[in-house]
Structure 1
Amino acid sequence: MQKVVVIGAGLAGTEAAWQLARRGVEVTLYEMRPLATTPAHKTADMAELVCSNSLKSESENSAPWLLKQELRRGGSLLLDIAKETRVPAGHALTVDRVEFAREVSKRIEAEPKITVVREEIQRIPSEGTVIIASGPLTSNALAASISELGGSGRLFFYDSISPIVEADSINTDIAFAASRWGKSIDGTDDYLNCPLNQEEYERFVDELLAGESVPFHIEEDNPKTPFFEACLPVEELARRGRETLRFGPMKPTGLDDPRTGRWAYAIVQLRKENCRSDSYNLVGFQNHLRFGEQKRIFRLIPGLENAEFLRYGQIHRNTYVNGPELLNDMLQLKSDPRISFAGQISGVEGYVESIATGFAAAQFVLDPRPMPRESAIGSLCAYISGADPKHYQPANITFDLLPKLDEQTAKRLRKDKKARHAEVCRRALEKFDEYLSVSV
């Protein structure tokens, strides 16, 4: 087989390159950093996590768990490294983002069948098999080439990054350690929680709504460019109603303040960024306020009155193609099947979803069979290729994407949601195992 070109060494690109190499395929992996940078990346490491450091739930029989289980059964490199670099975060698979990216880079660069080229690809190669995994911050030149090739305009939505604060600057006389409902992997309290009473919450919301935002600097700006609903900036949530934050990132449920024995009026959760526990992420506090405004407003949160910010929140462009118009159910360009798309540029949202489409794109190069529709990965591919093209938005894995149970089973389990989810997962893994058993 001729060499495969993979464009982009993010989560999808590195997983795709690894899957191909481990099965004997020569891969040329292109990455433009550090020669060309993006507004969000800070290093030249592969698979750098620029938003949260969480790969979501490990709770058995949840949709995120199912997607990870399929990847593990497929021999995912990045899921293995996530396990090696894990930091405590309740039932979530959360990693030390620096160690994670370093280890991915080390393993990819050490693989003899992968040639890493640090160069910006501005046009799609006219020959050979190509996997485009250039990510949500694809360069303008390459994005223009994709647009020309696909015959469809680019789509954009805005995504945001949460702030990170220095651990030593958190006032632990106020912030208390606890996991929601006491759930954690090893029985430890994995989060710090900053409690607010009603007066503190109301003041915070007032200042948040009045805060000055950073103007957009995207050449394709227009007033209708949407935010991604699953990752709304915190100030956008506040604009939807004064109580919205209390039912979103500031919900206090399941967190007993040890000083009062009760739930606070609102809570801001802080999650460890790395194994050293020297920095914490403000969970769900992605935003696009000016840096000075972030410092002023977020220091109103009890426990963060002297917070030192290691990184401020940001907003950046996410680029993705209109999958239903352009791609088939094997993530290949309908007009030129030698070209595949993987990762966020294909129209998925989320770290594990990006890894999954990288895995799938490599699999389809070697074995041109769609994955079982009952599987989580197969359902993601079906969504990318089969959603309504007029209203296409990036998607995370949810049970809504998977096929419904047959009528008899659904009727039998209609009063037991956990049992229904368990059955969906059992069916998915059974079909996925069958698929892998005859795979190349």
Structure 2
Amino acid sequence: MAAGTGYATLDMIRRSSPEWAISQAEKARKAAEDALKSGPVSDEGALASAPPQPPAQPVQPQPTQPTAPIEPAPATPASDIARQRTPLADPAADGWRETFARQQALQPELPQKVPQTPQAPVVAQTEPTPTPAPAITPAPQPSPQDRLDRLARQEAAQQSLTDKPIDNVLPTEPLAVNDSLLDESQASTDAPVYVEESQDQAEKVRQKVEHFEYDFSDDVFVTQADFQTLVSALERINRVQAYVGHGNFNIIAFDDMVRYARYQPRIGEFTPRELDYLEQLFYDDVRDLGFFGERVISRLDHRLNANDIQKIQGTGHFLLRGQSESFYNQLRAQVGDSLILTSGVRGVVKQYHLFMAKVVQAEGNISRASRSLAPPGHSYHAIGDFDVGRVGGGLSNFTSDFAETDEYKRLRDLGFVHIRYTQDNEFGVRFEPWHIRVV
């Protein structure tokens, strides 16, 4: 993700507990606003949008009998897929990593956190229409305690996403334009108040593509234990990003990330539980989540060759040399300088970062996250696709609003530009007018 908008060192698990009070949540919102104002500049996907506002008059929970936390539906078991792991590779083997020789001495090790069980994610149910279709049974409204718990979790997640990261060790290249370092994991849109779910599977996929931010009845939620593990691993991944720098973070390999965490006290070594969960997340059959795109990276230890990638000046991103780089330059020449690269080639680690952040925003609904971001191993960014946007467009570059810009209309008029995820796609992915199909 981006400097100033990373998940950094904040203890998301502690703030997900029932003891996280509304007054503390207000402080979290203020910290989030301050962090967003001070963030550095340009990247495809940055932070989450502002959390939903609390109820107009929240009812305080009764001290005598607190409501028990709601246990989310367990994640759908994944099919057995062979998992291959290889020993950590030598970072010196990659030419671009020679820059790491200039890293400064690290500060003393961060104090260890005492893990606590977080409040399980709760899915908000909204008031159905007065006369819903007979086949649809409206879900019950959440209790006042549920609303308060949900608000506290949203505030904690937002603060986690906007807490200040540790200082970068590597010097950062100043980026062109005035866009903040943004990525599509931050962009979101309001979910509909009510969706009359179709009983036809093909039609239901279409509904999910259209209403990608809505919770559907067959969505898969991570278990409470997995949610806790995901959050702690996400914090650690964010510290890796702050350590290596945002540009380099786009292309580091999984084994390099593990090595940095192991030997840098500022990051802290991944626990066996975290590594097992990350491996499971990579190799599981994501069709169980409702994502029907193909796997494009078969191995968790996939590594980009430094000779195959090119840094794109003024963007903080890389493109694969050859077809991708040439195609981007061609688009810029024909559309104009107002078109900018907002996300290029992404390694497995970067995709983990984006996808896991979206799961947190979705309050554990991993199916909803997969409708906005491809799970690790399934992103075409790893093999050539890239995203473009309008200079100064901010997060709107990652919403359907981009389809209304002159830049998009010029891309469309060229005739040879193809969008990967169209409005009628059958992959279970939202419409992405900014995602250029190369391969």
Q: TM-score range by the shorter chain?
A: under 0.3
Q: Which structure exhibits the higher relative contact order, with contacts defined as CA atoms closer than 8 Å and separated by 6 or more residues?
A: 2
TM-score by length of 2: 0.23
- Greater strand proportion: 1
TM-score by length of 1: 0.23
